[in-house]
Amino acid sequence: MGMTEPNRSTPSALPEEKKTEAHRQDDQTVEDNAPPESVASGTGGEETDDSKPGLPLSKARAIALVATVTGASFLNTLSIQSVVIILPQIGDDLGIPESRLQWVVSAYSLTFGCLLLLWGRIADIIGKRTIFISGSAFVAVAMIANPFLPNEIAFDLFRGLQGIGAAANVPTAIGILGTTFPPGKAKNYAFSAYAAGAPLGSVFGNLLAGIIASYANWRWVFGATGGLAIVVTAAGIFCVPPPPPSAVSSKKSTASLLKDIDWIGGFLVTAGLLAFMFALTQGNVVGWSTVWIYMLIGIAVLLLGIFVAWQWYQERHMTRAPLMKVSMFKNHRFSAALAIMGTFFGYFNNFLVLATFFWQDFQGLSALQTTLRFIPTGATGFIVAFIMSHLVSRLPTWMLLLFGNFTASMSCLLFSIPIPPDTSYFAFGFPAMILAVIGADISWPCLTLFTSKSLPQADQAMGGALINAMGQIGRSISLAIMTAIQTGVMASQRGLPVEQSGGIEAWEPASLAGLRAGNWFGFGLGLFCMALVAISFRGTGIVGKIEKPVRSDGEEGIMNEEDTSHRR
């Protein structure tokens, strides 16, 4: 995809007279803008032959490439969810008190969520292949080192380092897909597979940690995830196409390219997100009546506000391209897609957390027994991902997003209504898990593909960073609110102040009421997403439809029928 013609309305296109020389140079310095290898896509609604003779990228190599970048998305959520299951064992071995145990997870989430935008822009300027491989290698080293660290501080530090590496390779993976595959059947398959990686990673994180924790030392969880990170790194070296020779010879030096990066904007957005997510993380630990929590949120809002103003100023008055083009948000459907991503990821993640609490803490099941209840979601995820690769080119976007959010919200509803907690797993737990993964594997391909089609090739990694950052922000906000609701309900049922309410107790009515309240909140977020889809995506076409090229050089325009009908 590339910048569309000036008279076409896209969220990132600027009038030609205002498009600075730096913007043009930025487009030219990206090593992936004109990848030498691409997959045939055909035209119209015809099936395509991805192994068509004469194309440098064979079907086998295309599959290997998709599997490689999907591995980065899978590894990201796998490394988060697997650690959640083994937190008690980590705390016991390293002597970490329960009040600080959540930092084993939060250290990763904070660095990952806060550095996504900066790494996305660096990848677009320096080169997606280079950043993907480097980020994956960084994750592998930090993961393998983690189980050998003897104390809490070092352990949390290396968890944060893992998040830094993941922030580099996850958004870059989307950028690689967006610049390698032209519109068509192959691109639909690629994005459907990639989008399935994140929810499947969450599911298999439970399976991996549960099995290892039951039969071996918890440190082997990091050994397994570190081994997978090594595989992703090696696969990236061999499977991600290198830049064309012409791009390599014409590129500026790395030092010169680094000067093109908006480091001021990178500092502002990273510091703002760090302050915001840190406040949300600590709010449920120290209590929401603590003054410094609100002061930190205020500082975060101020920094993020300055960041937006700085990006707006750079885009209009400076020669250097901004970290993030504010003009892309003029497209209301693009903005709505990001909002839906954040909200959906929030309540989907909450459902997985609450389901784990219900079986492991409330029903008192072992880690392995809890793990077995997640197995159906893994099998279902593979099936739905395959089906979605076909549906995304046949059904309207609004219909898929509406149905995806409906099924995911139904999973929250099944855990909210007063079904006796000793009811058979197959009566409500099993269908809830199936519905949750169906919703995820339907919604995420639509949102990631829509984001890719909404941005030019020069901003593909930034698009991946935006959609992942929104997912992390949505997760942090919804988890904080859900925890506050759950804790408040349990405290009310027990007749105690929130600070003294304690945790979940096995088969206690107050604990069950708190879990159900958290799922009611998730169901409400699902309804909000459906309303947002109905309002913002009404009248959209098919996101995976093979469009005719809008320019002679094959560049791709935005997936927005309403906006492309207007002229500047």
The CA-atom distances, in angstroms, between 302 and each of 268, 296, 419, 557 are: 10, 10, 45, 34
Q: What residues contact 245, with CB distance under 8 A and at least 6 apart?
A: none
Q: What CATH number belongs to 32-243+323-551? A: 1.20.1250.20
User: What pLDDT does residue 548 have?
Assistant: 54
- Where are the domains positioned within the chain? 32-243+323-551
> What span, in angstroms and rounded, lies between the C-alpha atoms of 45 and 118?
38
The CA-atom distances, in angstroms, between 466 and each of 143, 460, 483 are: 25, 10, 25
User: What pLDDT does residue 200 have?
Assistant: 83
Q: What is the DSSP string of 105-149?
A: HHHHHHHHHHHHHHHHHHHHHH-HHHHHHHHHHHHHHHHHHGGG-
AA identity, residue 340: I
User: What pLDDT does residue 246 have?
Assistant: 52
Q: Are 262 and 306 in contact (CB under 8 A)?
A: no
Residue 562 scores a pLDDT above 80? no
> What span, in angstroms and rounded, lies between the C-alpha atoms of 471 and 345?
5
Cβ-defined contacts of 19-25 (< 8 Å, 24+): 20/318, 20/319, 20/320, 20/321, 21/319, 22/260, 22/318, 22/319, 22/320, 22/321, 23/321, 25/260
Q: Residues 534-560: pLDDT tens digits?
A: 999 987 888 877 555 444 343 343 333
Rounded to an integer, the average pLDDT of 317-325 is: 85
The model carries a pTM of 0.80
Rounded to an integer, the average pLDDT of 248-274 is: 80
Rounded to an integer, the average pLDDT of 154-178 is: 93
Closest to 517 in 3D by CA, of 350, 377, 405, 349: 350
How would residue 18 be classed by pLDDT, with cut points 50, 70 and 90? very low
Q: At what angle do helices 263-286 and 460-494 cross, to 10 degrees?
A: 10
Number of other residues whose CB lies within 10 A of the CB of residue 494: 18
> What span, in angstroms and rounded, lies between the C-alpha atoms of 377 and 411?
12
User: What pLDDT does residue 287 have?
Assistant: 80
Number of other residues whose CB lies within 10 A of the CB of residue 85: 24
User: What pLDDT does residue 207 have?
Assistant: 85
Cα dihedral 491, 495, 501, 502, rounded to 10, equals -110
Helix-then-strand count for the chain, H and E: 21, 0
User: What pLDDT does residue 486 have?
Assistant: 93
User: What pLDDT does residue 545 have?
Assistant: 75
Top-confidence residue, 41 or 85: 85
How many alpha carbons lie under 13 Å from residue 523 in its C-beta half-sphere? 15
* Chain centre to alpha carbon of residue 500: 35
Question: Could you give the residue ranges of the DSSP H alpha helices within 392-538?
Answer: 397-414, 425-453, 460-494, 509-536
Task: Tell me the two tokens of residue 304.
Answer: 């993020």
AA identity, residue 313: Y
> What span, in angstroms and rounded, lies between the C-alpha atoms of 82 and 76?
10
Residue 356 scores a pLDDT above 60? yes
> In the chain, what is the greatest distance between 2 CA atoms, to the nearest angstrom?
73
Dihedral of CA 12/17/22/28: which sign? positive
User: What pLDDT does residue 102 have?
Assistant: 81
Residue 151 φ/ψ, nearest 5 degrees: -140, 170
DSSP symbol at 361: I
